[in-house]
Amino acid sequence: MNKIARSNLRVRLGDMVSVQVCPNLRYGERVHILPLDDTVEGLNGSLFDAYLKPYFKDSSRPVRKGDHYLIRAGMKKIFREGEAVKREDEESLDRFRYDDNGGARKQLALIREMVELPLRFPQLFKTIGVKPPKGILVYGPPGTGKTILIARAIANETGAFFFCINGPEIMSRMAGESEQNLRKAFEEAEKNAPAIIFIAEIDSIAPKREKTGGK
């Protein structure tokens, strides 16, 4: 099941899904399907003939208000009438899922085991008497997707509140102010539990002992 289908069904990877026959679905008389603006930008041609007609004709596809559809075609030029629908702002961050990650399957599996299982099945750990891990350290070169592709994907798949802390920005030269900023972040996450706190560039908050200068 791809991420579009999971989003329409409001389920996540690992969820149990039951399938039932619905023989009495009525045929729709009129359906409005609006393209997202960033998917048709700069394209010309017939949107109906190139995409919608081949996708829906003689396929008996169920349609529900608010659902999204991923339609592919060979044409590079489409034609549309009227204004396209703007994509919701929060969708840009909420769209990241596990299948958006590539080349880090082993690492992602370990992170899911340590983070996702305690969030989704806390009773399991209570039953066997094992304390779940409270934190993990993800390291690697900048720009490899540690924040967006991994941390965001786990938060989106589990439905947990995501709070990202930028280490250099939270630091202050005023005595006690850095601790106060960090405490506020954890209090905010506690109010929105279950939550995932991601600290970027944690070495700026917790440097090596020999580099702290006694501070």
What does the pLDDT read at residue 80? Answer: 62
What does the pLDDT read at residue 215? Answer: 47
Which domain-ending residue is among 38, 54, 87?
87
Q: Give per-residue pLDDT as tens, 39-79.
A: 777 666 677 777 777 777 777 777 778 887 777 655 555 55
Q: Which residue is associated with the tokens 């109010």?
A: 191
Q: Could you give phi then psi for residue 71, rounded to 5 degrees?
A: -115, 125
What does the pLDDT read at residue 90? Answer: 47
Q: Give per-residue pLDDT as tens, 89-98.
A: 444 556 677 7
104 & 186 share domain: yes
> Where residue 127 sits, what CATH number does that domain have?
3.40.50.300
Q: How many domains does the chain have?
A: 2
Radius of gyration of the chain (CA): 23
117 has a pLDDT exceeding 60: yes
83 & 95 share domain: no
Alpha carbon distance 176, 158 (integer Å): 34
In this prediction the pTM is: 0.48
109 has a pLDDT exceeding 80: yes
Alpha carbon distance 5, 194 (integer Å): 25
Classify residue 181 as exposed, middle or buried by CB count within 10 Å of its CB (0-12, 13-18, 19+).
middle
What does the pLDDT read at residue 214? Answer: 46
Confidence of residue 172 (pLDDT cuts 50, 70, 90): low
What does the pLDDT read at residue 43? Answer: 66
Q: Name the percent of the chain lying above pLDDT 70.
A: 75
| Strand ranges inside the chain, DSSP E | 161-166, 195-200
Q: Give per-residue pLDDT as tens, 23-41.
A: 777 777 787 887 777 777 7
176 has a pLDDT exceeding 80: no
Alpha carbon distance 96, 98 (integer Å): 7
- The parent domain of residue 64 ranges over 1-87
